[in-house]
Structure 1
Amino acid sequence: TNPRFDAEAVAEELSVSYGFNVTVVHDATRRQMLDSLNAFASRHYGDQDQLLVFFAGHGSYDEQYIQDGFVVAADSKTAADDTYKDTMVQYNWIRRRLANAASDHVLLVLDVCYGGTFAEQLGSGNARSGDELYQSVSTAELVNRKLKYRTRRYVTSGGKERVPDGVPGEHTPFVRRLLEALRTYGGEDGVLTMSEVYSYLERVDPEPRAGEFDRNEPGSDFLFIAK
């Protein structure tokens, strides 16, 4: 299926090209999602270690009772049989757990329907992070400056809306552009910033959303540093 194909492709790129220590959880139940997120958030991290959490799959939204979005798990019930979405994973739970993660640098990527409702207020999709301020410094100084501050950022494949699954057997439009960004390998300096990633994503329809949560510090960034 497309989510499995997408997750494996992103995982391979992160591992092979950027040296991420990758764990892939396929077709996770609700309990497996909660346990995995808790395990990732609780690990020991160094000062410049980063945590990236990527969801590829299906999402839902509750308009009547909770006004929040959810990731649909492998064992989730249909909306008709789950009035309060108890069998799904609420975005607010994900937001709170990642807010308290042990890593100082966290990025959440949601390629699911209604992913943009992860933000307490829907953002404009502007992910600029002041890269122009650092264009003349060395790569080492760029990394040190950007990873000096607490990072809590997110990117989603759309707003409060359904997003396309893509052609069966191919990547979703969002993941296709994400992979294109990752395969630039950071250009001449070998460092791919979030604003550079978003420059690839912003042409996807529907428009992806990006922003910050829980005391993200000004000047922070999430970096993809090519091996």
Structure 2
Amino acid sequence: MYKKVQILILLMTLIGHIGLAQTYSGRSNSVAVDYSTEKRGGEAKIATSEKEETIKEALRSSSEPTYHALIIGVSNYEYAGANLPNLDKPTKDAEELYSVLTTKYNFEPKNVTLLKDPDRATVIDTFHGLADIVTEKDNLMIFYAGHGYYDKPKDFGYWLPSDAKAESTANWIPNSTIKDYISAIPSKHTLLITDACFGGSIFKTRAVGGMSQMKVHELYKDRSRKAITSGSLTEVPDESFFVYMLIKTLDENEFDYLPASTVFSRIYEPVMNNAPTVPQFGVIQGAGDEGGDFIFIRRK
């Protein structure tokens, strides 16, 4: 009987060892499961660590560019009259564009100058200051809304600042002066957008086709001096559908990189269908364009 008890105890001990071995084996399996979980976690970590393409990588640029903007709206004229009436919309349009650029695109407020009803001296001084600040790695957008004038016999176009007089050109700003400043400012890309009467006189070449199909880095590689205008050599209305579509396009855009040529292609047909003017897009001749395009970069 004693021997039977010993055998029973021995068997129970062996079973206990086997159980421990199974338990250890189970723990070993648990470790394996835990390891596979860690592996999956590691894989997830690798996936999430794949950083989004940086701006430098997308543009294939050695540095991330700084974006500058000069936004001008002239609604109130010091010498307003029948031949030079005040306007309602330009300063409001300028404010809206400022808001879109500084909140939705890579335009830091400190690099954006908003001029409401400036006189000639203020505009010229601001251009002069930009020529000292903007570098060859920076980009510049210029916007003007207000009265303009085209002298057809002389083939001369003008912006009319707030101190302009209808009967004298002394304070008018010739398109040639604007072009000279655009040439002098050493930016990589400059885009001029004008919503003014006779704005199309700023250039002679039209419809730079096929640019929207190029890759972003290809467009960005070469310097550009482009202009988008609300109309050619005709008057434009105070209530500008052109500016409405410009701001709407920029505001609703969902692409990280938006070329100026694409902006134009999106606004061209709606403006043609709803306004008496024909918008224009082209090279500012003699200002240093090398075939590139201005790229709007959306904030992340």
TM-score greater than 0.5 by the shorter chain: yes
Give yes or no for the alignment of 1:226 onto 2:298. Answer: yes
Task: Tell me the CA shift for residue 185 of structure 1.
Answer: 2.9
Residue 159 of structure 1 pairs with residue 232 of structure 2: yes
Q: Which runs of 5+ in 2 are unaligned?
A: 1-87
Match of residue 21 from structure 2 = none
- Aligned match for 2:221, one of 127, 148, 154: 148
| 247, 258, 269: which one aligns with 1:179 | 247
SS state of the match for residue 155, structure 1? Answer: strand
C-alpha separation between the residues in 1 aligned to 2:262 and 2:156? 29
- Correspondence for 1:208: 279
CA drift at 1:39: 1.3
The answer to whether 1:7 aligns with 2:94 is yes
Q: Deviations over 1:106-137 (max 9, x none)?
A: 11111100000111x2x44x243533232xxx
Partner of residue 111, structure 1: 195
Paired amino acid for 1:199: S
Amino acid at match of 1:93: T
8 A Cα contact 1:110 1:155, kept in partner = yes
State the 1:156 CA deviation. 0.7
User: Residue type of the partner of 2:99?
Assistant: E
Matched, 1:35 2:125: yes
Tell me the distance in 2 between the aligned counterparts of 1:106 and 1:129. Answer: 19
RMSD: 1.6
CA contact (8 A) 1:192 1:224 kept: yes
Greater relative CO, 1 or 2 (CA 8 Å, sep 6+):
1
CA–CA distance in structure 2, aligned partners of residues 129 and 45 of structure 1:
28
The letter for the 1-side match of 2:212 is D
**Corresponding residue for 2:143?**
54
Structure-1-length-normalised TM-score: 0.83
Q: Which structure would you say has the larger Rg? A: 2
Query: Which stretch shifts more, 190-199 or 90-99?
Result: 190-199
CA distance 1:129–1:153, shift in 2 (3 Å)? farther
What amino acid is aligned across from residue 63 of structure 1 in structure 2?
Answer: K
User: How many matched pairs?
Assistant: 202
Q: How far off its partner does 1:9 sit?
A: 0.4
Task: Identify if the C-alpha distance between structure 1 residues 31 and 217 changes in structure 2 by more than 3 Å, giving closer, same or farther.
Answer: same
Identity %: 30
The Cα shift of 1:201 comes to 2.2
* In 2, Cα distance between equivalents of 1:226 and 1:97: 27
SS of equivalent to 2:115: coil
Tell me the secondary structure at the aligned position of residue 149 of structure 2. Answer: strand
Amino acid at match of 1:161: T
In the alignment, what sits opposite 2:163?
Answer: 75
Which position in structure 1 is the counterpart of 2:106? 19
**Distance in structure 2 (CA, Å) of the matches to 1:75 and 1:133:** 43
